[in-house]
Chains A and B, each alone.
Chain A
Amino acid sequence: MSAITYRDVRFGYPDGPDALRGVDLTVPTGDVVLVVGPSGSGKSTLLRAANGLVPHASGGRFAGSVVTFGRDTRTHAPRALADVIGFVAQDPEAQFVVDRVEHDVAFVLENLGLSDVTMRRRVEEALDALGIAHLRGRSPSSVSGGERQRAAIAGVLAAAPAAIVCDEPTSQLDPQGADDVLAALVRLNADLGTTVLLAEHRLERAAAIAHHAVLVDDGRVVGTGRPGPLLADYPGAPSVTRLGRLLGWDPPPLTVREARARAADPTGLPVPARVDGDPLGAAHPGDDGSPAPGPSLVRAEGLRVERGGRTVLHGIDLDVRAGEVVALFGRNGAGKTTLLRALAGLDAPARGSVTATVAVGCVPQDPNTLLFAPTVRREVAETLRLLRRPDPGAVDRWLDALGLTALADRHPRSLSGGERQRVAIAAVAVGGAPVLLLDEPTRGMDAASREALHDAVVAHARTGGAVVLATHDVELAARCATSVVVLGDGDVVASGPARTVLAGSLFAPQVLRVLPPFCTVDEVAAALATGGAR
């Protein structure tokens, strides 16, 4: 039996273009189904149609039918489906009704009108299923992001729905929180048989837990099948999958574990460079045309910052030089954001100093704090207007560098999270600051946005600027960072050239763990090319 059946679903938001253009899809009961596709492809709309939020909450033009466990969403509003299907939104912050985890979990039960005894049992079970029983008395705003998202899932799970829909549940989380949330979904699926319909951009973890994948593009389902073969050609596929495709492994691996098994087999390794003395071949970072680090642009010496009576940074030394891309790692709360704020001059050092020889631009974590103009172009131009530096060329240059030219006349608020992030970066970068500080720039970004960001960062550093990225995105850092700093509880625990730090780290990028010492698929490809030329 199928859990959710879409039949020729067409939908357009009010005053908007069509978001779904004829979707036929069957979600089998008891499976984890992963929906992938670029930003704006209709993933969210597809998910929101499963419990009737589209069209009941959104309005707009709806045709076709969605049948969820035998109930047609045209005649059943989301609240009438709450007992069979739960919906968890992308932003864990905004979906809490009651300011106490336990009571928020009970919210759906109170609405279903269950008896007191049943409610108590269901709340306990939901808290245990997500492993958050110790948080029951806390306020959702005081717990970590991963815990908050798990609390939100508990809030729909309490109704014991047969299916749960999660719209990018890990995009706002750090790797640890993302792992916890996905592990919880796997457990629900395995233990309770709950059908899970999931949309994700970051596939390193999500692809491995899915039974089926659905590829969505331009409002249509363009492919369904096992995640491995289906995602091999997808630009946002995990690095190991793209590596497997490069090396002709069939089926392409989805996890590091599968990839290592293939790599251990010598016939599966047509990498000639591996036999050479220098396995990196032409891909060595010193040889790829980027200039050696130039003069120091921003320097922190013995930097100590206190916030709210707590010491957040204990004596940090950091030197950012022209031409460098510095990746700043560390778990949430390790002090990454505070370090960026101090470098940008927002937080005054309690001891030590920050010396900037040039202007420093900083892009906050949440791009929504910055965006106010009616179009993307005006948003970016506004910064120049404020700085009284009319330079229309710069606007176009940055729109182009971040791949925003096609979106220039759109309203920033109508864009996806990753696109908004790029607009915010363009709006700050256009001011001409040689040093750019980016706080978690790849949160919620799809493959195309990450690619555009990567290119812009590398180009900015090559032209004499410097970029500091506070990020959890190891794969991006492996591709563009020249040096890596790892923070732990306000201290630098490791720093040095990117390759050295990443190689010795548990956070190593996937390719490095399969084919050391290669860090990225591009390096392997380059080595293959030179090997073939020899």
Chain B
Amino acid sequence: MGAAQGPGNGGSRRPTEVDGVAARPWHAAAWLAWAVAATAALQLAPSPLYVALVVALATLVVAVFGGDSPYARAYPVLVGLALVFAVMRVALTALTTHGGPDVLVTLPGATLPDWLGGFTVGSTIEAPVVAQAAYEAFVIVGIVAVFAACNAVIAHHELVQGLPRAFHELGLVVAVGVAFVPTTIVAIHDVREADRLRTGGRPVRRGRLVRQIVPVLERGLEHAITLGESMDSRGFARGGSTPRERAAAWCGAAGLAALGGAFVALVAGESTPALVCIGVGTGAVVGAIALASRGSRRARYRPRHLARADVGLIAVVALAPVALAGLTLAGDDRLAWAASPLRWPALSLPAVLALAFLAAPLVRRPVPTPAATRDPAVVATPATGPAVPA
């Protein structure tokens, strides 16, 4: 199934299956479902032990399915960034939130005037506050790790092709934008090395940020310009938009705005306006999709359809949050963790088994293709003859 469907052009179809499907055993939608299920599981079981388990699982997924693609190399960087923000968050919380027993250390402090919030910066740092902040921040690190892993293993064009037709061009622009993350990471590495080479291997810290940021940004800009010209030359956004597409776009934008309003209302605790907003927003988005999909002239080249195995995977990974929700309803108090009083988080075996559903993608392995080698010339090219025309 899937990519194997299509007009019978015989033998030339086999390599596609080998290179395309087997190298990426799961459909993009299946990976997205995995990421959503893992995120939901993190919300339902936010205790640090489970978060660590999910992060380990995400890392394993990247190691198995990511290969050495630039997206996979972006994974540790994204997780590292999340950790940096987590540490900053803990530090800020510890400095500004006070109260409770177990003072770790006492710093010089200052109380801000009332018009700045009137809270105290510095002063005593309490262990439960630090622990609570770290606990909350770690859940966010887990969510970032899950989506970074998903980004590392997913085929972005499959996702774009799976979008409703009206959002195809928007989705493509987003996918192209996402592709700049790994390219930028590669560029940062190259630029740092070049900076060291400039001084004969001696790192010079002074002014290093400017020396490294400017080439990275300018390379990115030049890349973006070339890409934009390439897309333009290949007819992207050709023919403009039809009135129906424009109507769909407005409808979709209004729907998203209503959903955003619903979120604000929910945060503010206004449930009736929130429900109204959700209803209006969902209706508008569905209408936009229907409107635009009927009017689109865009054909798609060999879209990958969901195979039975993909549907099975989606069902299995969905079991993880369902089982955790069941445990929560059953009153398992070991899923979450409280910083006060300080104690070691407990592990519940049923919860670990529920999280094990998230390991389902690992039942299949990608078949290594020649693409797995970095230097194709070494492997693929036989000894070459004269390099200059005779």
Contacts and interface: CB of A to CB of B under 8 A. Distances in A.
Contact of B197 (A80, A205, A428): A428
Interface string A380-410: 0011001100000000000000000000000
A124 B12 contact: yes
A472 interface: yes
A308 B378 CA distance: 15
Interface stretch (A92-100, A285-293, A523-531): A92-100
B190 A108 contact: no
A79 B232 contact: yes
A87 B229 contact: yes
Interface in B207-226: 207, 210-212, 214-215, 218-219, 222-223, 226
B378 A256 contact: no
Contacts of B381: 144, 176, 331
Interface string A354-380: 000001111110101111100000000
Nearest to B227: A94
B193 interface: yes
Contact of A141 (B70, B237, B302): B70
B298 A110 contact: yes
Contact of B301 (A79, A119, A386, A506): A119
A370 B198 contact: yes
A140 B207 CA distance: 35
A103 B157 contact: yes
Contacts of A79: 232-238
Given A136-B19, A413-B218, A344 B234 contact: no
A387 B199 contact: yes
B250 to A, nearest CB: 23
Nearest to B189: A369
A112 B235 contact: yes
Interface in A208-237: 208
A513 B387 CA distance: 13
B384 interface: yes
B233 A86 contact: yes
A102 interface: yes
Interface in B177-202: 179, 187, 190-191, 193-202
Contacts of A382: 211
B148 to A, nearest CB: 17
Given A94-B223, A333-B376, A371-B215, A506 B386 contact: yes
Contacts of A489: 378
Interface string A49-68: 00101001100000000000
B215 A360 contact: no
Contact of B214 (A82, A147, A372): A372
Nearest to A383: B198
Interface string A189-223: 00000000000000011001000000000000000
B229 A53 contact: yes
Contacts of A77: 232
Contacts of B197: 344, 346, 361-364, 370, 428
Contacts of A175: 387-388
A360 B200 contact: yes
B374 interface: yes
B170 interface: no
A115 B233 CA distance: 20
A257 interface: yes
Of B374, B377, B383, the most chain A CB neighbours within 10 A belong to: B377
A99 B370 CA distance: 16
Interface in B263-319: 297-302
Contact of A138 (B19, B223, B297, B377): B19
Contact of A124 (B9, B230, B233, B374): B9
A149 to B, nearest CB: 13
Contacts of A269: none
B117 interface: no
A49 to B, nearest CB: 13
Given A97-B227, A255-B389, A345-B201, A370 B215 contact: yes
A152 B191 CA distance: 26
Nearest to A114: B299
A120 B388 contact: no
A265 interface: no
A431 B228 CA distance: 38
A381 B239 CA distance: 51
A197 B229 CA distance: 18
B389 A205 contact: yes
B196 A346 contact: yes
B345 interface: no
Contacts of A345: 201
A116 interface: yes
B114 interface: no
B268 to A, nearest CB: 42
B388 A134 contact: no
B384 A383 contact: no
B16 A137 contact: yes
Contact of A369 (B20, B176, B191, B376): B191
A111 B68 CA distance: 31
A368 B155 contact: no
B211 to A, nearest CB: 5
Contacts of A204: 388-389
B69 interface: yes
Contacts of A133: 12, 15
Contacts of A257: 389-390
Nearest to B195: A370
A431 B223 contact: no
A236 to B, nearest CB: 16
B188 to A, nearest CB: 10
Contacts of B376: 142-144, 147, 333
A428 B207 CA distance: 17
Q: Which of B68, B157, B196, B228 has the most CB of A within 10 A?
A: B157
A431 B387 CA distance: 36
Contact of A137 (B23, B201, B231, B384): B23
Given A89-B230, A308-B374, A506 B387 contact: yes
Contact of B200 (A332, A361, A488): A361
Contact of A57 (B7, B23, B228, B234): B228
A395 B389 CA distance: 41
B244 to A, nearest CB: 15
A138 B156 CA distance: 14
Given A94-B223, A137-B23, A361-B200, A369 B157 contact: no
A365 to B, nearest CB: 9
A509 to B, nearest CB: 8
A242 to B, nearest CB: 15
Given A137-B16, A137-B369, A176-B381, A111 B302 contact: no
A117 B301 contact: no
A370 B218 CA distance: 11
Contacts of A102: 16, 20, 301-302
B237 A106 contact: no
A334 B383 CA distance: 11
Contact of A99 (B156, B204, B384): B156
B18 interface: yes
Q: Which 3 A-B pairs have the closest CB atoms?
A: A137-B19, A82-B235, A333-B375
Given A97-B231, A346-B196, 20 more contacts: A87-B230, A89-B229, A94-B230, A96-B227, A103-B301, A107-B231, A113-B299, A120-B6, A137-B19, A159-B235, A256-B389, A334-B377, A345-B201, A366-B190, A370-B195, A370-B197, A370-B198, A371-B215, A383-B198, A510-B388
25 contacts: A48-B229, A57-B228, A79-B236, A87-B229, A93-B223, A94-B223, A96-B227, A111-B234, A111-B235, A112-B238, A137-B18, A142-B374, A142-B376, A147-B376, A155-B230, A175-B387, A204-B388, A331-B381, A333-B376, A368-B215, A369-B187, A369-B215, A371-B215, A372-B215, A428-B197
Interface of B: 6-7, 9, 12, 15-16, 18-20, 23, 68-70, 155-157, 172, 176, 179, 187, 190-191, 193-202, 204, 206-207, 210-212, 214-215, 218-219, 222-223, 226-239, 297-302, 369-371, 374-378, 380-381, 383-390
